[in-house]
Amino acid sequence: MDIDLPEVVAEVRAAFERYEKALVSNDVSTLDELFRDDPRTVRYGATEILYGYGDIKSFRAARSPVALGRKLSRTVITTFGRDFAVASTLYERPSAPGKIGRQSQTWVKFPEGWRVVVGHVSLMDKPSS
């Protein structure tokens, strides 16, 4: 199996960056598009447990658009073959001082493009250096 083929990493990075832009600008239609429309798609959030695309779409529609800005760090994208990838990143939000967020996404390439099939977001106290 080929790991981290440069052209595949570039595709996933573009999808990841598109997701991030949509997230901080509350572009709900793009966020909906980038999650796989399937009852097996899962998203664990900082305060929610969502099973199935319908739950995820409902959450996005109801989410407050306030204080969505954030700064990413230590983003790692690893691809396995041409159709499977994992993206992990840390984030900080001005609206959550003293906290650090962690986000991981499992991406799969379908005929319609790269889609998140599992997402996980958590927030914790920022470790002291």
Residues contacting 31, CB < 8 A, separation 6+: 19, 22, 23, 60
pLDDT of 95 reads 87
Q: Which residues contact 18 (CB under 8 A, 6 or more apart)?
A: 30, 34
Show me where the domains of the chain are located.
6-117
CA distance linking residue 44 with residue 106, whole number of Å? 12
Look at the domain 6-117 and name its fold.
Nuclear Transport Factor 2; Chain: A, (3.10.450)
Distances (CA, A) of 114 to 1, 12, 34, 66, 72: 19, 7, 7, 28, 21
* Total-model pTM: 0.94
Instruction: Render each residue's pLDDT in the chain as its tens digit; 129 residues.
Output: 999 999 999 999 999 999 999 999 999 999 999 999 999 999 999 899 999 999 999 999 998 888 889 999 999 999 999 999 999 999 999 988 999 999 999 999 999 999 999 999 999 999 886
Both tokens of residue 120?
Answer: 């996980």
